[in-house]
Amino acid sequence: MLRTIPDGVALVAVSKFHPVADLRQAYEAGQRLFGESRVQELVAKIPQMPSDVRWHFIGHLQTNKVRDIIGRTALIESIDTVKLIEVVNRQSAAAGVVTNVLMQLHVAAEETKYGFTPDELMAFFAHQDHLKFPAVRFCGVMGMATNTDDQTRIRLDFDTIASTFTNIKQSAPDLPDFNTVSMGMSHDYRLAIACGSTMVRIGTAIFGARS
Ligand SMILES: *Cc1c(COP(=O)(O)O)cnc(C)c1O
């Protein structure tokens, strides 16, 4: 399946709930980018894997857990509130690092999903609010489509994520690193790539079902 992902689209192997032995197997096969959604699990796995692994945090991040992952993640994909940006900025500055982040968009029909609406996110960048956080590097957006078999709805969600990204990129020229559109999971990554994804987050299709 890895072969169906074109050049220019990064593959994040979502290893949450899977044992380190499974991650090592993927590592041996050449995988270096791994995604985890729980701080405790991420922090436990980091020392058990080679140091050239790049870790992405992809889950809902509580502000009181930020400190545990600063300096240890290549990218926090799931920034879902301005409050969280403030904390990431503060903790990054204290640690002397700049943290790469994606802004999570909420476009799916489910109310349980986290993130900014497209309007909120476009307003954030239009107001130059990102310039208030010098220890945060804004690298793009992340989003999930509605969990449905309705391909039309999934495409609509991906189109909304991609067009929000393009709108921000065009309206805020002082965002040189804003280049990533993270969308697409095991069941919908092909459609996500067709809609402009540059980063897919795939768990089940690599590691099998989570227990
Ligand atoms: C679990 C998870 C994935 C991977 O889902 P699969 O369906 O197993 O590919 C991708 N993104 C996020 C945010 C997740 O929490």
pLDDT for 2 = 58
Question: What is the distance in A from the centroid of ligand 1 to the CA of 198?
Answer: 16
- 174 vs 118, more confident: 118
Is the model's pLDDT at 1 over the cut of 60?
A: no
- Position 23 scores a pLDDT of 98
Residue type, 177: D
Instruction: Please count the CA atoms within 13 angstroms of the CA of 203 that sit on its side-chain side.
Output: 14
Distance between CA atoms of residues 8 and 200, nearest Å = 11
Q: Indicate whether this model's pTM tops 0.85.
A: yes
- C-beta of 202 in contact with ligand 1 (< 6 A): yes
Q: What gap in Å lies between CA 14 and CA 153, rounded to an integer?
A: 24
Indicate which atom in ligand 1 lies nearest the CA of residue 186. Answer: 9
Atom of ligand 1 nearest to the CA of 16: 1
Report pLDDT digits (tens) over 140-184: 999 999 999 999 999 999 999 999 999 999 988 789 999 999 999
- Average pLDDT value for the chain: 95
- For a pocket test of ligand 1, which of 2, 22, 201, 210 has the largest count of ligand atoms closer than 8 A to its C-beta? 201
What tens digit of pLDDT does each residue of 72-89 get? 999 999 999 999 999 999
If one counts every other C-beta atom within 10 angstroms of the C-beta of residue 184, the result is 30
